[in-house]
Structure 1
Amino acid sequence: MDSIQDSTKRRDKTMLTMKRSHFLLVVVALLLVAHDSIAGAGEKVILDTDMVVLYDDGVAMMMLAKHPDIELLGVTIVPGNTWVSEGTAYALRQLEVLNRRDIPVVLGIRYPLRAGRYETMEVERKMFGFSSSYIGCFSRIEPASYFDVYRAEFGGRPEIKPADKHAVDYLIDTIKANPGEVTVMPIGPCTNLAIAIRMAPEIIPLIKRVVYMGGAFDTPGNTTPSAEFNWWFDPEAAKMCVRTPFADQLIVGLDVCEKYRFNKKIFDRITAVNKPIAKMFKNKYGPEFKKNPGYTRLVWDTIAAAVVIDPTLITEEKTRWVDVNSDYGLDYGRSLGYSKQGPAGTQKARILFTIDEQRFWNLMVDLLIK
């Protein structure tokens, strides 16, 4: 009888141990899944950007550079908001503030694909009737070099030098060195990526995903009634990219970006700490809030950075076949989305419409002040 009881006790103990082990395995698995959902647990990213100081490209870069689960492989510079020389100087300075001298800054293509676009911009504006619209760097003369811009804007000499390579070559080489691992983020015009996939189409299946900030599908454009600025700046490049069969394409356009605005409440949270970034925010946005406490601004590219860091921020997206109008006319640069099969050559893309706003602001602020 005692032997039977001992055997039963041993069996029960073994079963309890097995149940505990199984429970622990389940917990570990859930934790791993949760961790993987945040930035893919070590997401490798190339940020392709028409860089400005702080909002919005600058803050997007800071968020990516400061998140522990993001490996920012490089910052490639494209014209758009700024000329390449300007964007390079701004990227270098902000990486200096972050003390991230390890992140390469790489100069890219200087002009959009359409020949003579800059030189004929005034004629285009008169023809198509958007004379008062924002046209980015097209509104001013291109500076001679990033060094001149840095010295004029920040004084002295940059502590970091740009990489001794062209952005297109950097994209190609880095993607080939990390097959299936790199998220490419064109948060400005798509010129660098378009040239890279044209020069080396073999990289297309090697790209993990492409996350754009650009386009406007169910909402009007912001440079013309038809077109959002980034894709208007180089429609041929945007068309080439969205028609490429990448494994995954996510579009963060005006449909989501025009719903969320930086305001004084967020400004106060960022500037409450004694950090160099807080000083930058005070210098740039403090005068605006002093003149008008109700001042707000859109934060476009930071939303793209946030959903790369944490895809669970996405609360609504729609999948469509996507195209860009590259016919030189009133609809030049217009984003086109088809809920059913689109024209021949179009590819599916996910279009972002809403995010969890409170979690987005918390993520952004926490990263900036850490």
Structure 2
Amino acid sequence: MKPIIFDVDTGIDDALAMAYALHSPELEVLGFTTCFGNVAVEDATRNTLTVLEKLDRHIPVFSGANQTLNRGEKKKYPKHVHGEDGLGNTRKEVPSLQASQGNAVDFIIDQVKSRPHEITVIAVGPLTNIALAIKKDPKIMSFVKEVIIMGGAVRVPGNVTPFAEANILSDPDAAELLFSSGLPVTLVGLDVTLQTCLPKSKLGEWRASGKESAQFLAEMTDYYMKAYDSSHPGLGGCALHDPLAVGVAIDSSFVSTVQMNVKVVTEGEETGRTIGQPDRESNIRVCTQVDAERFVKHFLERVIRS
């Protein structure tokens, strides 16, 4: 089993990615760390606990960054995509599960220290928690085995601006710090995630399964797909952004990568843009192709598993 720390800003595709990871025997989820991004960090923590409760899993959850590395608090959240609560307005009650004592940054450092060169961090939100951990203890963080990031748009346009993808734009300074840190990084960006599609027809199958967790996932994903109907008319579903990062952690052959030196634009109109130049010496692998059909099939076999 591959030990992972899963860093989330739990909205709808994070929830799908959580279910995929927790139903995959190849992964040992040591804990979830939360960050602002799709929602404020308090909501991200609450949503993470809600998803765990629905999936009947008890995994530690540590609350993390409530603001960017250098730019203060995020002002706007994509409620038109993820709903008022971040879960497609499905969160009906306060979860009975509680977040763990301590904070996300210390949890990441402590886990890496206890298992040097073993732990993979999957990060599917802004990269603030990881950047703060690097700043706090760069020596220990150099023992991270790999960071798999859902973020960036190296060869395609962004999804928030023509230049920038949402997670990188939410904290471009954190992304630049991580990319220049020397840590081994796999960048699972819009270059590949937009080639994946969860068809609307699958939601009916989830509902028909009779499983409470599947009903929950179907209801929230239906909200997400309605946002896609506006932004990507004719797609007939939604992209599996965050789940693909989990897929790469399970089976790296889902994607093809190119080693690149990646820089993040941190000022001006193109803020958040990820600029990649091929470099065989680089520690960053940028996903450029995906076997979308095989990945989506694998995801569907796992996501609503008991």
Question: How far does residue 245 in structure 1 lie from its aligned partner after superposition?
Answer: 1.0
| TM-score, normalised with respect to structure 2 | 0.88
Equivalent position to 2:143, from 194, 206, 215: 206
Quick one: which of 248, 254, 257 aligns to 1:317? 257
C-alpha separation in 2, matches of 1:322 and 1:156:
42
Residue 195 of structure 2 contacts residue 292 of structure 2 at CA under 8 Å; is this kept in 1?
no
Which amino acid in the other structure matches residue 322 of structure 1? V
Instruction: Pick the aligned partner of 2:67 from 84, 101, 111.
Output: 111
Q: Which residue does the alignment assign to 2:215?
A: 279
Counting only pairs closer than 5 Å after superposition, residues 210-289 of structure 1 correspond to structure 2 as 210-246=147-183, 248-285=184-221
Closer, same or farther in 2 for the Cα pair 1:294/1:226, shift >3 Å? Answer: closer
Could you say what the CA RMSD is over the residues aligned between the two structures, in angstroms?
Answer: 2.8
Q: 1:235 to 1:100 in 2, by over 3 A?
A: same
Q: Residue 336 in 1 paired to residue 272 in 2?
A: no
* Aligned residue identity for 1:274: G
In structure 2, what is the equivalent of residue 7 of structure 1? none
C-alpha contact 1:83 1:137 (8 A) present in aligned 2: no
Partner of 2:244: 303
Deviations 1:303-362 (A, max 9, x none): 101111112222x22111111112x211111101112489xxxx4311112222222122
Q: Distance between the aligned counterparts of 1:91 and 1:116, measured in 2?
A: 23
Structure 1 portions without partners, runs of 5+: 1-41, 122-134
Q: Which amino acid aligns with 1:89?
A: R
| Pair 1:47-2:6 in alignment | yes
- Aligned twin of 2:34: 77
- What's the CA shift for 1:210? 0.6
Change (3 A) 1:154 1:215: closer
2:51 to 94, 103, 117: 94
Structure with higher Rg: it is 1
The residue number in structure 1 matching 2:287 is 352
The one of 158, 163, 166 aligned to 2:100: 163
Counterpart contact for 1:48–1:188, Cα < 8 Å = yes
Larger relative contact order (Cα-Cα within 8 Å, sequence gap ≥ 6): 2
Change (3 A) 1:312 1:136: same
Q: Distance in 2 between matches of 1:236 and 1:288?
A: 28
Which whole-Å deviations, capped at 9, do the CAs of 1:252-298 have from their partners, x for residues lacking one? Answer: 001001112221233344334121222113433457889x8973212
C-alpha spacing 1:330/1:106, structure 2 compared with 1 (3 Å): same
For residue 23 of structure 2, the aligned residue among 66, 85, 89 is 66
Deviation track 1:123-179 (CA, whole Å, cap 9, x = no partner) reads xxxxxxxxxxxx53699xxx9xx9xx99x9644442211010110111111111111
Kept in 1, the 8 Å contact 2:33–2:62? The answer is yes
Letter of the aligned partner of 2:18 in structure 1? Answer: M
Distance of 1:138 and 1:300 partners within structure 2: 17
After superposition, the Cα gap between the structure-2 partners of 1:226 and 1:65, relative to the gap in structure 1 and judged at 3 Å, is: same
Count of equivalent residues: 296
Q: Distance in 2 between matches of 1:283 and 1:272?
A: 12
Q: 1:288 to 1:154 in 2, by over 3 A?
A: closer
State the alpha-carbon separation in 2 of the partners of residues 117 and 154 from structure 1. Answer: 24
Q: Does the 8 Å CA contact 2:90/2:220 hold for their aligned counterparts? A: no
The 2-side partners of 1:220 and 1:186 are apart by 21
Question: What is the CA deviation profile of residues 11-69 of structure 1, one whole-angstrom value per residue up to 9, with x for unaligned ones?
Answer: xxxxxxxxxxxxxxxxxxxxxxxxxxxxxxx00010111111xx311111111111112
Q: Which segment drifts farther, 186-195 or 347-356? A: 347-356
| Contact 2:117–2:144 (8 Å) recurs in 1 | yes
Q: Is the 8 A contact 1:322 1:348 kept in 2?
A: no
- Which piece of structure 1 moves more, 256-265 or 67-76? 256-265
Tell me how far apart the structure 2 counterparts of residues 185 and 256 of structure 1 sit (CA, whole Å). Answer: 16
The equivalences for 1:173-184 within 5 A come to 173-184=110-121
CA distance in 2, matches of 1:240, 1:336: 14
